[in-house]
Amino acid sequence: MPNPVIGRPIKLTVERVVAMRADYATGATTVRALAMRYQLSSKVAWLTLIGRYWPEAGGPVHRPWVNAGRTAPKKLDAERVVAMREDYATGQFSVLALGARYGVSRTVVWKVVIGLFWKGVGGPIHTPRARAARAA
pLDDT number for residue 129: 80
pLDDT number for residue 108: 92
* Residue 120's pLDDT band (cuts 50, 70, 90): confident
Residues 21 and 82 in one domain: no
Last residue of a domain, one of 51, 68, 85: 68
Nearest to 27, CA basis, from 43, 49, 52? 49
Residues 61 and 122 in one domain: no
Measure the CA–CA gap between 83 and 110, rounded to whole angstroms: 14
Residues 5 and 63 in one domain: yes
Measure the CA–CA gap between 109 and 27, rounded to whole angstroms: 38
The answer to whether residue 28 is domain-embedded is yes
pLDDT number for residue 9: 64
Domain span at residue 100 reads 72-129
The answer to whether residue 136 is domain-embedded is no
Summarize pLDDT for 61-107 with one digit per residue, the tens: 877 665 555 555 678 889 999 999 999 999 999 999 999 999 999 99
Residues 8 and 43 in one domain: yes
Residues forming a β-bridge with 9: 2
The answer to whether residue 46 is domain-embedded is yes
Residues 45 and 90 in one domain: no
Q: Does the pLDDT value for residue 10 go beyond 80?
A: no
Summarize pLDDT for 30-66 with one digit per residue, the tens: 899 999 998 899 999 999 998 888 888 888 887 766 5
Nearest to 109, CA basis, from 92, 78, 127, 85? 85
Q: Say whether pTM exceeds 0.95.
A: no
Measure the CA–CA gap between 33 and 99, rounded to whole angstroms: 42
Residues 50 and 3 in one domain: yes
Residues 12 and 25 in one domain: yes
pLDDT number for residue 5: 53
